Chain A
Amino acid sequence: MPEAFNVGIGELKVSKDADAIIITRGLGSCVAVCLYDKEAGVAGMAHIMLPQDNGRGNILTARFADSGVPRLLKAMVKEGADPKEIKAKIVGGARMFHIAGGNSLLEIGERNVEAVKAVLKSLKLNLVAADTGKDYGRTVELFVATGEVLVKAIGHNTIVL
């Protein structure tokens, strides 16, 4: 059995255990940011909830796109990853609820995805694959050795990124 690390809401996890899988379960409008450097054998995942840090001193390190993604990158580099070699894959940002005459908050998933993409760009990280948007929840598994990402959902086929 490979070791499985669970990433809770607003958390991040980095591993260089080649047998490990990093997992986040039941992702809705949040976004899972998966980074990996195959050469260095380092991979990490952050579970981003919201676009912008409200600066209120959060316990959760990866809660916001603008502060959480840089923290994930820093943790990757600390474990020996080379920023130039890192590839990024992102999953999530679903629109879970459709309410007639709804408000802009309904677009939170979309705004999370945009924010994450912007941060990845500013950090010059290479986004190679994405499965975002749509209207259902996902479980995301990142394989440390390969950087392969499995996306599972109820009533949908598993996607490999």
Chain B
Amino acid sequence: MSQLSGGLTSKQKELLERIFKLSTDSAAVALSEMTEKPVFLESPRLGVVSLDSITNTAGGAESSVISAYLIFSGEINGNMLLVFPEQSAFKLINEILRQDDTSSEDLDKMAISVLGEVGNLVSSYFLSTLSDYTGMDLRPSSPMVVQDMIGAIISSAILMLERTPEEILCIETEIADENSKIEGYLMLFTDEDSLDKLLQIIEVR
């Protein structure tokens, strides 16, 4: 019987939320260092969700977003997505490059490499915190940056899981700077076997 089919117990949920809070705090440090401004990641919301509801994040399946995507593997498998609505992505890029020019909204080589680096930093801070806490060995792939409809990105990301789950454990947080100009989401998807393993490890600790 899968852990997911009956939903998470409140204790499991609390444990997972605590770990993911530590991990997102650490990812926020990475973003703050890059932009040299305080950047916050809200306390992650954790849920077992259906595919349909998840692709309606950030303004519906068709809304255009820019996303950094990567796979992690090791003792558990999954993938991570950093998703920014277009405008927010360019704001973030401009802040990191310290440029005021907001007229350029082309996803050029420089923009792709900046967002790739954001994906790299955020995911490695996040995953190393998760590793430290659980003792699991987790290896991220290098990130890739995609600009497309959010529904196409999220559904395809989920299909990249080793085994496509019936339902998905989704961790979602919002990214904001002090003026809350940058809207973004951090999502982590994992399959049922990996979730079972993760729960076993944290419940013992």
How many A-B residue pairs have C-beta atoms within 8 angstroms? Tell me: 98
Cβ of A139 under 8 Å from chain B: yes
- Quote the shortest CB–CB distance from A15 to chain B (angstroms): 19
**Contact among B55, B146, B162 for A96, CB-based, below 8 A:** B146
- Quote the shortest CB–CB distance from B67 to chain A (angstroms): 10
Is there contact, CB below 8 Å, between A25 and B52? no
Cβ of B110 under 8 Å from chain A: no
Given contact pairs A25-B62, A50-B159, A97 touches B51 in the complex (Cβ within 8 A) = no
Interface string of B51-92 (1 = CB under 8 A from A): 110010000111010000111000000000000000000000
How many angstroms between the C-alpha atoms of A136 and B65 in the bound complex?
12
Cβ of B15 under 8 Å from chain A: no
Is there contact, CB below 8 Å, between A26 and B151? yes
Is there contact, CB below 8 Å, between B155 and A26? yes
Cβ of B196 under 8 Å from chain A: no
Cβ of B147 under 8 Å from chain A: yes
Q: Which residues in A have their C-beta under 8 angstroms from that of B62?
A: 25-26, 139
Given contact pairs A9-B55, A106-B160, A49 touches B61 in the complex (Cβ within 8 A) = no
Cβ of B144 under 8 Å from chain A: yes
Among A9, A10, A58, A153, which residue has the most Cβ atoms of chain B within 10 A? A9
How many angstroms between the C-alpha atoms of A94 and B60 in the bound complex?
19
Quick one: which of A15-48 are within 8 Å of B by CB?
Answer: 25-30
Given contact pairs A9-B51, A9-B55, A154-B148, A26 touches B159 in the complex (Cβ within 8 A) = no
Q: Which residues in B have their C-beta under 8 angstroms from that of A108?
A: 156, 159-160
Cβ of B112 under 8 Å from chain A: no
Cβ of A98 under 8 Å from chain B: yes
Interface string of B162-175 (1 = CB under 8 A from A): 10101000000000
Q: Which residues in A have their C-beta under 8 angstroms from that of B55?
A: 9, 26
Among B69, B141, B142, B162, which residue has the most Cβ atoms of chain A within 10 A? B141
**Contact among A29, A58, A60, A153 for B156, CB-based, below 8 A:** A29
Q: Which residues in B have their C-beta under 8 angstroms from that of A11?
A: 52
**Contact among A27, A99, A105 for B151, CB-based, below 8 A:** A27
**Contact among A8, A56, A99 for B142, CB-based, below 8 A:** A99
Cβ of B153 under 8 Å from chain A: yes
Among B141, B151, B156, B166, which residue has the most Cβ atoms of chain A within 10 A? B156
Given contact pairs A26-B55, A154-B64, A56 touches B144 in the complex (Cβ within 8 A) = no
Which 9 A-B pairs have CB atoms at the shortest separation, nearest pair first?
A26-B151, A137-B152, A26-B61, A28-B152, A28-B156, A96-B156, A137-B149, A25-B61, A26-B149
30 contacts between A and B (CB under 8 A): A8-B51, A10-B51, A10-B52, A11-B52, A25-B61, A25-B149, A25-B151, A26-B55, A26-B60, A26-B150, A27-B151, A28-B148, A28-B152, A28-B156, A30-B159, A49-B164, A58-B166, A59-B166, A96-B153, A97-B144, A99-B142, A99-B144, A100-B142, A108-B156, A108-B159, A109-B156, A136-B148, A139-B149, A154-B147, A154-B148
4 further interface pairs, Cβ-Cβ under 8 Å (given A27-B152, A99-B71, A154-B149): A26-B55, A27-B151, A27-B155, A97-B69
**Chain B residues at the A interface, C-beta cutoff of 8 Å:** 51-52, 55, 60-62, 64, 69-71, 141-142, 144, 146-153, 155-157, 159-160, 162, 164, 166
